[in-house]
Structure 1
């Protein structure tokens, strides 16, 4: 497998995400980080902001590109010529959630999914928890790259002032 897709919402991109992306970049020739455009979710950042932050955070890896996608992941992977998907797992709960999707993607298109366990130091980190901490005025700098942390705190504070 030469090209894989690492999909997610990345709202915001965390060190846990970057752990998986960096390890995928070491394993595969090309990694496409596909930022989802799910209009039914209301996140902290719009898709263009998330793409910008992910691009900045992934700048050190020359074989990583960042794009957006909507619709079926299998269709996107076909369109970009990816032979597989990389997903990070923090816990058994993530595995239980991701495994049926992996099976469905294989049945729909033959697409393979590679699961990478998140490094232990990031196993408790999720974008949802980071957003909540930021909204409540907590320190998120241990979980996010510097520029992403600053923007997350600023955006979360705007939400508190509204």
Structure 2
């Protein structure tokens, strides 16, 4: 049997419990999980790619089969680099699907060996997005229910306590 590997791509600016929900569930189903931190050219990041990677690494430290990477380029090229044939995309709502479908179609056209699987985030996290968490954090509200502790601390430092 071959080793199963999956890639979970995203900007993770910052990682939330919604992301963690997907990562933890995928980690139970694949031998290796490669989190691929991508720089989104359409968004100005709150955290640098290096800061995001450090926050993810701290948040997934107790999940032994997860590795965190940075990649600039095509996601299917990253999949080839790590030997993964599966991309995992988390969905919060139906509204996420249209965008994801376009990405999946392009990835499939670029590399027909790579499949994309969609996972719905658990309902208790379906309303959480990095953007909303950052906005709430700017107003000094309690975000501990939405992000791992290292992220909560980093956002407090970023926006002042």
Shared fold, TM over 0.5: yes
**Taking structure 1 as reference, are residues 51 and 28 closer, same or farther at Cα in structure 2, changes over 3 Å only?**
same
The equivalent position to 1:123 in structure 2, one of 111, 123, 126, is 126
Question: After the TM superposition, which segments of 4 or more aligned residues of structure 1 sit over 3 Å from their partners?
Answer: none
Per the alignment, residue 112 of structure 1 pairs with: 115
The equivalent position to 2:71 in structure 1, one of 60, 69, 72, is 69
Structure 2 gap segments, 5+ residues each: none
Per the alignment, residue 45 of structure 1 pairs with: 47
Contact 1:44 1:156 in 2 (8 A): no
Report the CA distance between 1:39 and its aligned residue: 5.0
Query: TM-score scaled by structure 2?
Result: 0.93
Larger helix proportion, structure 1 or 2? 1
Report the CA distance between 1:139 and its aligned residue: 1.6
Report the CA distance between 1:37 and its aligned residue: 2.5
**Taking structure 1 as reference, are residues 94 and 28 closer, same or farther at Cα in structure 2, changes over 3 Å only?**
same
How many residue pairs end up in the alignment? Answer: 158
Report the CA distance between 1:40 and its aligned residue: 5.2
Query: TM-score scaled by structure 1?
Result: 0.92
Deviations 1:42-74 (CA, angstroms, capped at 9, x unpaired): 211101111011011111111110011111111
Alignment of 1:12-161 (within 5 A): 12-38=14-40, 41-110=43-112, 111-157=114-160
Structure 1 gap segments, 5+ residues each: none
Contact 1:38 1:70 in 2 (8 A): no
RMSD (Å), alpha carbons: 1.4
Greater mean deviation of Cα atoms: 23-32 or 148-157:
148-157
SS at match of 1:87: strand
